[in-house]
Amino acid sequence: MVFDMASVGKAARSAGIQHLIWSTLPDVESLTGGRLKLLHFTGKARVDAVVRSSGFARRTFVQAPFYFQNFLGLMAPQPLPNGGRGWAVPMHPALRVIHAGDVTEVGRTVTAAFAAGDGLPDGCVLAVCGGRYSWNDFAKTLNALGHHLKAVQMPADVYAVSHPGAHEVRETFQSFAEHTYFGPQHKAHIRAAHAFVPGGFTSFADWARVHMKP
């Protein structure tokens, strides 16, 4: 991945491109001392150094959130083991550690970064975030619209073998619980995005009102 990015960077510079925007996320492996790998986070973060040394006149990093759209597919409410519907997750459902947002607003952030020109500091990190939520928050918001959902905690070791790919999902949620989705510098990165993106970002309540009617 790093080799590929170096090659892409070289080709882009040769084409005269001045501003490179890279989609990144926290280096979970470093944050956890190697306990958690999370390649879909760490793999992106390990390219950051290549981008910073790439020789472009301007470099910007955009962090995409936990997408609201996940609730329409992969994370859609499911029947729960003890009845009802919602989510069985390997973390405490009251932990407000999930930075979430509308996937369509990532593109708006990239557009704003290009449009900002010299007003955007080189190396700036922009975190796209409609809000910081817990699983209980998601359930409460949807229940206010007429759903009947709840979030329950499942033991992490049980969750890890509950379905194909569950081990990586368990580690992902463990990382959220320990460091939040966007990691320890999330406040500065979210603040930077709000400063440069006109109109800010859509909250889960506003998004769900349109896309998750009962």
pLDDT at position 12: 84
Mean pLDDT score across all residues of the chain = 95
pLDDT at position 2: 52
Of 1-15, 33-47, 53-67, 77-91, where does mean pLDDT reach its minimum? 1-15
CA distance linking residue 19 with residue 72, whole number of Å: 34
Structure tokens belonging to residue 144: 């206010």
**CA-closest candidate to residue 65, choices 109, 2, 112, 5:** 109
How would residue 117 be classed by pLDDT, with cut points 50, 70 and 90? confident
Burial class (CB within 10 angstroms; exposed 0-12, middle 13-18, buried 19+) of 14: exposed
Going 73 to 77 to 79 to 81, the CA torsion angle's sign is positive
CA distance linking residue 146 with residue 168, whole number of Å: 32
**Residue type for position 165:** G
Residue 87, beta-bridge partner list: 151
Return the CATH number of 2-211, one of 2.120.10.30, 3.20.20.70, 3.40.50.720, 3.30.230.10.
Answer: 3.40.50.720
pLDDT at position 13: 86
Q: Is 17 helix (H, G, I), strand (E, B) or coil?
A: coil
Residues 7-39 have pLDDT tens digits of: 888 888 889 999 999 999 999 999 999 999 999
CA distance linking residue 74 with residue 91, whole number of Å: 17
What's the number of CA atoms in the CB half-sphere (13 Å) around residue 201? 32
